[in-house]
C-alpha cells in the first residue's frame, strides 16, 4: 500500500517509483508514435520518398523502377527500361518465382508475344530506332510478405531486388 504523505497540506498517496516508471513508458510511447509518423511521411506505408526504388544492371542497359512497399492485391507498377538492337525484338523475362507471386493486370505497350518456360516467363517487345524500349507492367501482388524479384533481358543482363507486400 502506498505511503501517505502530507503534500501541500493534503494527504495524498504517493508512489514515486511507479510514477517514474509511468513517465518513462509515456516517453517511449511518444518516441514510437513520432517514429511511426516519420516512417509514414517518408512512404513506408504508401507513396513517398522511400516507397519507390530503382534497380539497375551494372552497365545500365536494364533499369527497373518499382514500388518497394505495396499492398496485397493492390495496384503496383513495375517499369522496365531495356536496351537491345534498333528496330528488332527484345525479350524481357520475369523469374518463375516472381510470376507466381504477382498477377500481371496490363502491359503497356502491349507485347508482341509471350513465352513460358519452367524457370521464367518472357515478354517480347519491339525496340525503337535507338534500340531501347520502356515497358510498364501493372501488377497486383498475390501474397503478403517479402517478395524476391528477378527480372532480366533475354541474352543480356538481369537485376535482383525485393519488395515488401503489406497484408
Q: Residue 66: pLDDT above 90? A: yes
Q: Residue 50: pLDDT above 80? A: no
Cα 3 from Cα 102, distance rounded (Å): 63
Q: Where are the domains of the chain?
A: 3-42, 52-166
> What are residue 95's phi and psi, to 5 degrees?
-65, 155
Percent residues over pLDDT 90 in the chain: 58
The per-residue pLDDT for 9 is 65
pLDDT tens, position by position, 96-120 = 999 999 999 999 999 999 999 899 9
More confident residue, 4 or 29: 29
CATH number at 52-166:
2.60.40.10
- What are the residue ranges of helices labelled H in 52-119? 96-101
Mean pLDDT, the chain, integer: 87
62 confidence band (pLDDT: 50, 70, 90): very high
Mean pLDDT on 135-161: 93
Cα 13 from Cα 64, distance rounded (Å): 64
The per-residue pLDDT for 16 is 83
Quote the pTM value.
0.75
Q: Longest Cα pair distance anywhere in the chain, in angstroms?
A: 92
pLDDT tens, position by position, 8-39 = 666 667 788 888 999 999 999 999 999 988 88
Amino acid at each position: 500500500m502506498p505511503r501517505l504523505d502530507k503534500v501541500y497540506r493534503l494527504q495524498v498517496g504517493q508512489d514515486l517509483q511507479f510514477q517514474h516508471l509511468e513517465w518513462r513508458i509515456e516517453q517511449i510511447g511518444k518516441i514510437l508514435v513520432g517514429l511511426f509518423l516519420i516512417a509514414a511521411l517518408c512512404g513506408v506505408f504508401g507513396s513517398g520518398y522511400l516507397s519507390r526504388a530503382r534497380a539497375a544492371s551494372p552497365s545500365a542497359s536494364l533499369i527497373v523502377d518499382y514500388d518497394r512497399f505495396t499492398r496485397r492485391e493492390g495496384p503496383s507498377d513495375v517499369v522496365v527500361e531495356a536496351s537491345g538492337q534498333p528496330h528488332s525484338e527484345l525479350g524481357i523475362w520475369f523469374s518463375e518465382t516472381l510470376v507466381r507471386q504477382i498477377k500481371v493486370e496490363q502491359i503497356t505497350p502491349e507485347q508482341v508475344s509471350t513465352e513460358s518456360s519452367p524457370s521464367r516467363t518472357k515478354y517480347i517487345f519491339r525496340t525503337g530506332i535507338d534500340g531501347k524500349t520502356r515497358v510498364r507492367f501493372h501488377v497486383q501482388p498475390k501474397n503478403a510478405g517479402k517478395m524476391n524479384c528477378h527480372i532480366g533481358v533475354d541474352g543480356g543482363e538481369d537485376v535482383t531486388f525485393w519488395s515488401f507486400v503489406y497484408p
